Structure 1
């Protein structure tokens, strides 16, 4: 594996610190968290230069085998009496953890991202073209990243389209998981080193869904119900009661009911695998998992991804989910 870790002080000085770093950990999450890069350097081992420093705010760039893995900024520096320094950097989605008040009218998820990113001077790349238009969203003193996640959740629920929002080496992007496939199998005899698997109906599983809204003209509450009797007999009644947006028409409401039943009327599967590392895998990627003992041969969506590089060995841990 050929890799390079660079530190940029934003004033024209760039240091290659690859040779003084002992370990690297890169974490990505599919929803609501900034990507991070943590590494440990030895202060006086092959010093990059007399002027070498490491300060909060410096730019960190990490490239492995010509793949732009991480572009972000130092947020913490921890050191002690010995020669080691622990540094943690986040990509620019870290700046979306700030709170603000916004109102969005007739906006797509891409419109929401574009407005927030422009206001907070963040760099954008391809935001795709989500078609679903959200009638109205009002956020009072909420985290920016939570606003974006809310827009993506509504897009999924009302249109059935799933999108992944993340920082792609210094640019905010919005992509469909199908645009991010990983072309290799992870499983028996192929990269896999360990796994754990669970199936549950205890979290986010529902077989009866009732949606409601209050009709301001008639003063009555309107309800819309879908139920799967077969799974009710098997699991008992698992009930979801949820408020509707006021501006939805009958067709949109029925489509939402169908989407929610498809997404919620099933067991929640959680699969965690440990494997030899490949930086082409990150949160939001589809991976083909083949494990004979579990009778699994299917694609999973990576929910959380942790890469570790230490002592010349690159490994990764993946938290996966069925979508």
Structure 2
């Protein structure tokens, strides 16, 4: 919202989502500098702040820090912008939360993520700074995104030892198809097992429908990460359930993800048609026989 999706469409989608009972909104301070030549982020927060005026209390609002750039020219021309991420130092966090609150027109956010795990800054510094802004009332909960599983365990240990606020959400790429291997940005088998052993942590699953893979799209690099010996069988299971219910494969997958109280799928409709394609999944119930097909 606020970049590739214009204000009018963004407002229409947000209104419909709230009317349907939706309440979780996920954004970031860097959204979305890469969508325009002179962009430096902040556009989505600014528009959401405007659209939420008078109804801030109706939503659980999440935003992120650490993936703004220190050099936008280099970030646009180099193969990867990641070397230019500002990171998660105490200074960045303190400055970042104040800037986000100003753009969002609110006194606090419900959830504040470290957007991309910063391995260069001492973890103690990041955790202590996050604890400070929680105690200051600017943030209710903290989370991490694009992070290794072993780092999550390290964070929890440090937080327990120092009495700091413990992260309760991890945001990773996650879907019905299992990835060939886990990664820093993908919830692989190790993270799923870790989550089972830590039921107080929620998985916010981004790219849950893999950009159309469940509708037969295989022309995107993302798909390659999910090609394995089980892929065809799983895609066939999704197609079977979708046909029986008269819905799309993507809607089946979103409903399957919502079966777990520990998983919150994040959808990103760019157009009104995209939003309408998600709506049937909000209340789609999978019967035991459908779950058996998907889980066998």
With normalisation by structure 2, the TM-score equals: 0.27
More strand by share: 1
Structure of higher CA gyration radius: 1
Higher relative contact order (CA 8 A, sep 6+): 1
